[in-house]
Amino acid sequence: MKKVLITGGAGFIGSNLVHYLIDNKLAEVINVDLLTYAGNLASLKAVENNPLYHFEKADICDPEKIKTIFEKYKPDLVMHLAAESHVDRSIDGPAEFLNTNIMGTYNMLEISRSYWEKLDDDKKNGFRFLHISTDEVFGSLGTEGIFSETTAYDPKSPYSASKASSDHLARAWQHTFGLPTLITNCSNNYGPYQFPEKLIPVIILNALQGKPIPVYGKGENIRDWLYVEDHVSALWKVITEGGTGETYCIGGNNEKQNIDVVKIICSLMDELSDNPKVGRHEDLITYVKDRPGHDLRYAIDATKIKNDLGWEPATTFEVGFRKTVKWYLENLDWCSDVLDGKLDLKRIGLKNT
């Protein structure tokens, strides 16, 4: 069984990846996470005593600590998800994004290279480093067009600029040093264990409390929505079957305007949540000042991963959003545990505007 070192395994996508690998007995997992505000071991209670699971609290910007972890566990694969990821937060404080997303990725690449170069031939040939990125590195689309692996980079926010930089580092370490890296760029994820600062959990939690549901601008921005369990299955497909040096775009084939997403969730809340304080949840929608530099539209062409690796999303938008709303309603204790005073759901990202 492969040993997989996952950075950021206590975050949203990372915790779903850990569950996927362990529940399906696909790999032994070493979860490396600093447990900053968005990383929570509450998301991993179900696997914390599993013999296939190991946790190390560590900062990817601490090279000595990361080297020690590599020496202790001797991983076969690295799946690098650790990153600062909230656009609004990057507007208020870009420095942390540059440090974690760029320098942290540099450390992971350089330590992986040093480790990989010393492996015996069999293990060296099987080693892979997968850098998990975002479609936001490509910038913004108009009403036409679609992102693919050959789309030119055009990041528009401090967050996306930092992720674009880390993508370039991963490619450079493959081209210059031969480190077997791969890159994925995914569309907007949704599903269980998403920290409640992102659109969908904010809608659900505000609706539960009868609070205004904030919609940026007129809600016309369009995103492609990818159910997180589909995403993590694609990540495993890429690292085990993808070609070294290749990039794969991962999308859900679910383009929706933000306002339509909000209304769908409000309708599901009407159906699934018995809240006498709220009549129609849609009445809570409140339009607020748009995010500075808010990209209009993202859309992913996932033809390459379908043709090369046989992966397609298995979850429709309707099924995925129903499952997501039900999960939050059934796991309010998790929401309380992870928030624990860290977030008040207030608007951020308006600094200097």
The alpha carbon of 68 is separated from its chain's Cα centroid by a whole number of angstroms, namely 26
- Structure token digits, residue 252: 């859900």
Compute the half-sphere exposure of residue 152: CA atoms within 13 Å on the CB side of its CA.
Answer: 1
Element (H, E) at 26: none
Element (H, E) at 226: strand 222-227
- Structure token digits, residue 278: 């709220």
What is the spatial distance between Cα 26 and Cα 54, in angstroms, rounded to a whole number? 15
Residues 6+ apart with CB under 8 A from 21: 4, 27, 29, 52, 236
pLDDT at site 38: 80
Buried b (16+ CB within 10 A) or exposed e, 317-332: beebbbebbeebbeee
Instruction: Respond yes or no: is residue 159 known to be catalytic.
Output: yes
- Structure token digits, residue 324: 């997501």
Annotated catalytic residue within 159, 227, 248, 298: 159
> pLDDT for 222-266, tens place per residue?
999 999 999 999 999 999 999 999 999 999 989 999 999 999 999
State phi, psi for 147 to the nearest 5 degrees.
-80, 140
* Farthest-apart Cα atoms in the chain, separation: 65
Instruction: Respond yes or no: is residue 227 known to be catalytic.
Output: no
Q: Angle 272-277-279 (CA atoms, 0-180°, nearest 5)?
A: 65
CA-to-CA separations, 242 to 197, 212, 236, 324, in angstroms, rounded: 32, 44, 9, 29
- Find where tokens 């210059």 sit: 176
Q: Is 57 helix (H, G, I), strand (E, B) or coil?
A: strand
- Structure token digits, residue 223: 């995103």
Annotated catalytic residue within 33, 135, 224, 229: 135
pLDDT at site 348: 42
Instruction: Respond yes or no: is residue 230 known to be catalytic.
Output: no
Annotated catalytic residue within 33, 84, 136, 224: 136
- The CATH T-level fold of domain 3-191+226-254+296-315 is Rossmann fold (3.40.50)
Nearest Cα to Cα of residue 99 among 115, 87, 82: 82
Domain assignments of the chain as residue spans, ordered by start:
3-191+226-254+296-315
- Find where tokens 């690998």 sit: 21
Residues 6+ apart with CB under 8 A from 121: none
10-residue block means of pLDDT along the chain (353 residues)?
97 97 98 91 96 98 98 98 87 93 98 98 97 95 91 94 98 98 96 87 89 91 95 98 98 93 95 84 92 82 98 95 95 83 48 49
- Find where tokens 């207030």 sit: 346
Q: Is 312 helix (H, G, I), strand (E, B) or coil?
A: coil
Neighbours of 262 (CB within 10 A): 24
SS3 content of the chain, % helix, strand, coil (to 5): 45, 15, 40
